[in-house]
């Protein structure tokens, strides 16, 4: 078991500030329980699992488990308001499984985006690319790094199911949560496909970028975690619907904030190179909005932004594209949309029939998520 002196005791009354560390403790227990089986397979497999463990345990804000846990508490899960009370530790373990889905998504996303760093450290595929090169192995080091990282992401996705279904939830609770669980996994993969297709095709329509945000981020970051927490608690449609409205609006605003940081963010804060979304050719809502506006006010600028997106060569190019986006007014429009979505999401939460003392907790979480003050 994780060191109880190092990690908070899992309890419905624990402070929201303690949740991220408690998630790390639960994930540490899971990795420890798998260590002997992994070691029996091969030393090289242990090395890959070690990289996955570092990636999963040493970074991340634990947003998804935090919302799922708060969703369970808000629906009165610890009080048996809608169904028999589940063991709190079992519930907590089940929602911590969301971090494995996040690990899978990020590891694969880094390959897709050809990213060299994540949270200021080498990405998983870069770690194993370097291992291949340092050992002078046969074949292509880049291909090897990609291959190993794909498998590491696959393991994370498989272990998400293992952790969820082996959490200790009752059959009734698992059955209630099964639909939002599988929908969430499918939605995030669908959103990822939409994202890479938009980049490849050069589709810069705002509606396409908004659909990517809907499925790639909002659904699996906040909406479905809340839904899963409510389902475990046995909540009815009134709570689920309110959670989903709140979660969708806050989740989209969360991604719009990320879009802003991907262009204008400080690398010291984001852990990514300056203007990383511009380098990767991301057709975000911010970029799509800038292109839409520039086509009216500055057609040459729109053409230049469209042509240079994904073909950025150095900080001067980044600065030039940033200036174009800012001149279009797109960043100001996105800020207004973040504010609008946050207010609308909070209004949906205000009318939700949930435990009163949890309402402000969820509202505060929503505000912090959209400000990236997590």
Per-residue pLDDT reduced to its tens digit, 10-30: 999 999 999 999 999 999 999
Reply yes or no on whether the pLDDT at 1 is more than 60. no
**What pLDDT does residue 4 have?**
52
Of 100, 116, 114, nearest to 152 by C-alpha is 100
Taking residues 293-297, report their average pLDDT. 97
Lowest mean pLDDT among 1-10, 127-136, 199-208, 234-243: 1-10
pLDDT at residue 276 in the model: 85
Confidence of residue 294 (pLDDT cuts 50, 70, 90): very high
* SS3 per residue for the chain: CCCCCCCCCCCCCCCHHHHHHHHHHHHHHHHHHHHHHHHHHCHHHHHHHHHHHHHHHCCCCCHHHHHHHHHHHHCCHHHCCCCCCCCHHHHHHHHHCHHHHHHHHHHHHHHHCCCCEECCEECHHHHHHHHHHHHCCCCCHHHHHHHHHHHHHHHHHHHHHHHHHCCCCCHHHHHHHHHHHHHHHHHHHHHHHHHHHHHHHCCCCHHHHHHHHHHHHHHHHHHHHHHHHHHHHCCCHHHHHHHHHHHHHHHHHHHHHHHHHHHHCCHHHHCCCCCHHHHHCCCCHHHHHHHHHHHHHCHHHHHHHHHHCCCCCCHHHHHHHHHHHHHHCHHHHHHHHHHHHHHHHHHHHHCCCCCHHHHHHHHHHHHHHHHCCC
Task: Tell me what the mean pLDDT of segment 265-290 comes to.
Answer: 87
Residue 156's CB is within 10 A of a number of other CB atoms, namely 22
Q: Residue 192 above 70 pLDDT?
A: yes
Low-confidence winner among 64-73, 171-180, 265-274 (lowest mean pLDDT)? 265-274
pTM reported for the whole predicted model = 0.94
Please state the domain extents for the chain: 15-59+87-169, 172-373
Q: Answer yes or no: is pLDDT of 176 > 80.
A: yes
- Whether 2 has a pLDDT exceeding 70, the answer reads no
How confident is the model over 20-44, as a mean pLDDT?
97
- Percent of the chain at pLDDT above 90? 88
| Residue 308 confidence (pLDDT) above 90 | yes
% of the chain exceeding 70 in pLDDT: 98
**pLDDT by residue (tens digit) across 205-242?**
999 999 999 999 999 999 999 999 999 999 999 999 99
**Mean pLDDT score of the chain:** 95
pLDDT tens digits for range 85-124: 999 999 999 999 999 999 999 999 999 989 898 988 999 9
Q: Look up the CATH number of domain 15-59+87-169.
A: 1.10.600.10
Give the pLDDT of residue 5.
64
Q: How would residue 181 be classed by pLDDT, with cut points 50, 70 and 90?
A: very high
Q: What is the mean pLDDT of residues 301-311?
A: 95
Say whether pLDDT at 269 is over 80: no
The answer, yes or no, to whether residue 323 has pLDDT greater than 80, is yes
Average pLDDT over residues 311-321: 91
CA-angle at 282, arms to 111 and 249, nearest 5°: 105
Topology of the domain comprising 172-373: Farnesyl Diphosphate Synthase (1.10.600)
Please tell me the distance from the alpha carbon of residue 350 to that of residue 343, in angstroms, as a whole number. Answer: 10
């Amino acid at each position: 078991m994780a060191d109880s002196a190092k990690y908070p005791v899992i309890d419905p009354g624990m402070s929201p500030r303690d949740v991220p560390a408690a998630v790390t403790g639960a994930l540490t227990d899971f990795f420890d329980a798998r260590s002997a089986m992994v070691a029996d397979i091969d030393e090289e497999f242990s090395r890959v699992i070690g990289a996955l463990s570092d990636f999963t345990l040493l970074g991340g804000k634990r947003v998804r488990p935090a919302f799922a846990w708060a969703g369970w508490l808000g629906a009165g899960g610890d009080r048996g308001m809608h169904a028999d009370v589940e063991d709190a530790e079992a519930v907590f373990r089940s929602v911590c499984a969301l971090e494995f889905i996040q690990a899978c998504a990020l590891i694969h996303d880094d390959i897709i985006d050809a990213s060299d760093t994540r949270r200021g450290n080498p990405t998983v595929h870069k770690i194993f690319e370097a291992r291949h090169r340092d050992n002078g192995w046969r074949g292509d080091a880049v291909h090897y790094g990609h291959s190993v990282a794909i498998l590491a992401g696959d393991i994370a996705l498989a272990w998400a199911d293992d952790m969820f279904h082996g959490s200790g939830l009752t059959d009734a609770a698992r059955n209630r949560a099964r639909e939002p669980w599988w929908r969430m996994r499918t939605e995030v993969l669908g959103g990822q496909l939409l994202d890479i297709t938009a980049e490849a095709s050069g589709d810069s329509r705002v509606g396409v970028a908004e659909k990517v945000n809907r499925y790639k981020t909002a659904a699996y970051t906040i909406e479905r975690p809340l839904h899963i927490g409510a389902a475990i608690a046995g909540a009815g449609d009134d709570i689920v619907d309110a959670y989903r409205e709140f979660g969708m609006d806050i989740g989209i605003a969360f991604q719009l904030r990320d879009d802003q940081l991907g262009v204008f963010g400080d690398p010291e804060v984001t852990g990514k190179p300056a203007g990383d979304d511009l380098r990767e050719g991301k057709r975000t809502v911010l970029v799509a909005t800038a292109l839409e506006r520039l086509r009216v006010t500055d057609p040459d600028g729109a053409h230049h932004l469209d042509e240079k997106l994904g073909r950025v060569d150095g900080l001067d190019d980044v600065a030039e594209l940033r200036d174009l986006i800012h001149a279009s007014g797109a960043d100001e429009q996105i800020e207004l949309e973040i504010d609008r979505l946050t207010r609308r999401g909070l209004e949906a939460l205000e009318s939700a029939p949930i435990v009163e003392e949890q309402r402000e907790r969820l509202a505060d979480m929503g505000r912090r998520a959209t400000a990236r003050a997590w």
